[in-house]
Structure 1
């Protein structure tokens, strides 16, 4: 048998990966700084496999996945086809799964996805593309599945299988309870899987209840398997899959039985692995200041003690004796960490005027700062830092909020229909660019998976725009300091967006150049399930990098906040802004101004709570963590990390 394992080794993931396996881990895995770097390496392995097969005049059988994880791999393969003469003429593909029932032409179908991202852009023969058919009659489905397995077998088996992973631990659509010997079949989707897909279907009620999927045994017969996972929202299931026992409750753990599987992860997805989360329990550590801080916070939580109560015995009994052996006492370690955390706390996020700022997170000068608060969606500003936002305004800074996208995709059809009917009844005539009766007719006639018309998208964007004005007015911002960029990458009318482009970066550069800020706040929460936060943040990084030679950028600090998905770990926080009970209520009311995002949140991810609830709970939990560590007790705390660009 041809050694694809050796081919993988020749690619050398180690050049970009950072860590070796440990005794806790049962799957080979490589960790990369970001998903882009990792995706390029995976695409290169696939391309080398295709070419090696071509050189031997053999077909190359690829098992392919859908979802957000493989998109950058497909983009790179398309680039190599167009620029590096990579041919797909000898490639035969078999996709993992498809919703059932599902018309091929629906933009929610995996047939549509694969053609949009790969097949329409390369020279693969149409007869060599195999995707489970979501239109087969139910009485014919069993035979279809048998034939699909036979096609894979006749192709010589899968040379390479690309996988993602769901929060239930599913690979393909092999949900919890799937047997190791399962073949291609129809399966009922887990509720969590349907929740995660609900944004693509305009609500969970529209998500198909079933799917056709390759089985676990089908996947395990592949000669080479690469599973990719990106983001902190995948960290928990990745830890269970790599470090847990094999169980049908987490079907991805069956991959522990495969001798040529690699998990390719970014730092977020790998963050809960023992060697990253608590490396002092694995072996000797290089004790950087950040790692010391992380370990001490962990020790406090492990022993249920505040920082200043930790003893030598606590350190010795929990894998941290080498910190003491290096010459430090528990008292020295404790007081240093206490001071580090104490110095992150400030009620003056723009700097406190005429005050010694040597131990404060922000500068005291200039007294009045120009501030840009970038918000990827039209509510991330108040959800993530509404209290800090209000403080900056109240303390006299020139604050500008910049909404990077319209957010129109997150407005339900029912919500848009309600507004259109009210407007149609009230004004009779139509506002420029929107015929309300046309909007009503279009929404009522809309079929599942159909793209919104330009008029409908415009109305949905206006709904979110006006909600944004209401939210920031509530906390005291002037209308002239509100900016809407409507970045082009977002305006597709679909959940799937375009890649970041030069036009997006130029628009962000223009607003920074216009305001010339001393402070920039940006969303550093990359767990957003549809990637908008990541693209928006990369646009800011690229713009600020290009503007760095400008003199005013020497005085510009970049602060990253996190959104509705996760908070910064305590040891990563550089600025903690306490909120009073009244400020918490003010923030809540500002969030509630975004009425279209209440009750039926389309993109809630793995948290069914409304955004105001999860934001409030998160802020109160951060305050409790500070309190538990022995710091002052506050009602709530918003947290920020400074980023050196």
Structure 2
């Protein structure tokens, strides 16, 4: 990067920021820095004081440190640790306890002295908390201060539990949790109503006292707030923005979390660009939206006056740029997602690969039992109506997302059904009694018994059948994979293993599809979509050299949590008002998720509302850019596996590697 560009970056990025492609690369870099400091302090005969964070963000760092301990002999005997926060009240053995989290992810796997471990105490009486917080601050000072403080960033911009309004000089204290923070934690507690309203947290001032601070963020869900903290004004509304005032702070992002940085999102505003076709599309669409103009009405002056002088100089005039982008967008639109048969062809129709194969065998992989209809229900209906052999593979049971009262209602039905028809079985009676007793006496956050998990899985399975049938998919083409990684009974899942991948391989080899549809909705806050997608990629990597795969296309859909940006879209399937209504009815078949989902994430709307708004939003955008006006559009990008290596490329140019599947 040139010195001039460095200066331009610095003027926007007010905290030194490093962007690496993959979270695994970030984890390795941070772990190496921590390990190096530990070893230096060991050689000096000194302690190394670490400030540690919890949540999903730092787990990869902890896993790498554990690996270094076991394989490279990294010792933690000279390490003193202070954790940022803990829920209040909270018993240390509870599933959601940060004491338990740290033991499971780090402390129980290394040789750190338990006396050197400090995690805020959630068992105190409220009267004891102020004195305890003062003592926690003193313990940090007595240890010599924190050498490296590890941070994540919350959706409100909080670091630790320093919610909006926390002052720069705030110290360790009891704090009331923001509603957004509690919503984000709801999945860990099996419902927002079970999330504690308070927490003990280090203050912003306590954090800023650290000699070195590393803040990490992964995924699209953290992109907007990360950019605000890095490039925005310093404000108590975003506690992470105070890191701009620290002399030795650094932010480490993966490529997804860096999506809203100016250098990533609008790179032409910070320096020279390599103007490939995708970047040109992004710039033109941005300009059209900025000026509220259709693409074909943009002028040379529009480009020059909006910071795109380099683009117009290298690839102008505007007429040529506009026409090329418009033609690309127009070519993405197709009412025949499975291809059009020769008998239906008209002169000028867009021909997609393998159109000569009609009808096609198609499979939609749905991470949860409702993602298929939520995200591509209109396309599912279209594929079935057009005569394709449509399959749906439900990758997980979705059993943790069923309310207890729904499970109890089904258990009551089963009991009365058996009584009504005189069906008696000793084992069935025992199960009925267990289910009723367990659910009526279940404590908040308690993990369901295996019997309850199976019952809830059956509820989701029945709803999936109803939704699939409504779209036109036959019962024998509905596949319930129940991938083992998911079946823990908690939000925290096991790593994807060989058995998970082989299940998908076996199904692909059985069906030998011409089209594969998979969820690219990686902002799913629980991580299941990402893990399921990586398992699909790993399975495809194993079958990609088989003869049938040469005629196969892989399309990624979104919709439940986010939508594809317009410059990335490679297939846009228009949805008529009637098809949109049919899609809504298919979503309604998932009654346990209707009205209120157990884990709604950051969006309080029902899933059908989210999906329709996003589909209509894509259609409105196409209309505003000067393309045909539709009721709604479902968008897709194509993933092309690397036939030589271990990864592949998504249509918008994102490299996807498979090396991290086991640790996803």
> What is the TM-score with the length of structure 2 in the denominator?
0.92
Unaligned stretches of 5+ in structure 2?
1-5, 642-664
Contact 1:164-1:227 within 8 A present in 2 as well: yes
Asked whether 1:286 is paired with 2:274, we answer yes
Name the residue aligned to 1:486: 482
Aligned equivalent of 1:550, options 516, 539, 546: 546
Name the residue aligned to 2:455: 459
Root-mean-square deviation (Å): 1.7
Aligned equivalent of 2:379, options 380, 383, 388: 388
Rounded Cα–Cα distance in structure 2 between residues aligned with 1:170 and 1:157 = 22
Unaligned stretches of 5+ in structure 1?
1-17
Name the residue aligned to 2:368: 377
Contact 1:344-1:360 within 8 A present in 2 as well: no
C-alpha deviation, 1:434, in angstroms:
8.0
Rounded Cα–Cα distance in structure 1 between residues aligned with 2:231 and 2:121 = 35
Contact 1:524-1:533 within 8 A present in 2 as well: yes
Rounded Cα–Cα distance in structure 2 between residues aligned with 1:231 and 1:400 = 30
Aligned equivalent of 1:538, options 534, 538, 553: 534
Name the residue aligned to 1:439: 435
Rounded Cα–Cα distance in structure 2 between residues aligned with 1:488 and 1:49 = 39
Question: What does the per-residue CA deviation read over 1:529-585, in whole Å, with 9 as the maximum and x for residues that have no partner?
Answer: 111111111101111112222111111111111131110011100000000001001
Name the residue aligned to 1:414: 405
Name the residue aligned to 1:245: 233
Aligned residues: 628
Query: SS at 2:11's partner residue?
Result: coil
Please, which moves more after superposition, 555-564 or 417-426? Answer: 417-426
Rounded Cα–Cα distance in structure 2 between residues aligned with 1:407 and 1:163 = 31
Name the residue aligned to 1:104: 92
Please, which moves more after superposition, 324-333 or 605-614? Answer: 324-333
Asked whether 1:320 is paired with 2:308, we answer yes
Change (3 A) 1:434 1:641: farther
Rounded Cα–Cα distance in structure 1 between residues aligned with 2:551 and 2:67 = 39
Name the residue aligned to 1:519: 515
Question: What does the per-residue CA deviation read over 1:353-378, in whole Å, with 9 as the maximum and x for residues that have no partner?
Answer: 11479844554121121111111111
Rounded Cα–Cα distance in structure 1 between residues aligned with 2:123 and 2:10 = 46
Name the residue aligned to 2:654: none
Query: SS at 2:257's partner residue?
Result: helix
Query: SS at 2:332's partner residue?
Result: coil
Query: SS at 1:45's partner residue?
Result: helix
Counterparts of 1:145-164 in structure 2, within 5 Å, are 145-164=133-152
Rounded Cα–Cα distance in structure 2 between residues aligned with 1:327 and 1:227 = 39
Aligned equivalent of 1:594, options 572, 590, 601: 590
Rounded Cα–Cα distance in structure 1 between residues aligned with 2:439 and 2:103 = 27
Name the residue aligned to 1:368: 359
Rounded Cα–Cα distance in structure 2 between residues aligned with 1:446 and 1:53 = 49
Query: SS at 1:373's partner residue?
Result: strand
C-alpha deviation, 1:478, in angstroms:
0.3
Contact 1:32-1:38 within 8 A present in 2 as well: yes
Rounded Cα–Cα distance in structure 2 between residues aligned with 1:357 and 1:415 = 53
Rounded Cα–Cα distance in structure 2 between residues aligned with 1:205 and 1:229 = 27
Name the residue aligned to 1:226: 214
Aligned equivalent of 2:292, options 292, 304, 312: 304
Asked whether 1:634 is paired with 2:630, we answer yes
Change (3 A) 1:54 1:473: same
Rounded Cα–Cα distance in structure 2 between residues aligned with 1:556 and 1:433 = 49
Name the residue aligned to 2:388: 397
Query: SS at 1:326's partner residue?
Result: helix
Rounded Cα–Cα distance in structure 1 between residues aligned with 2:75 and 2:435 = 45
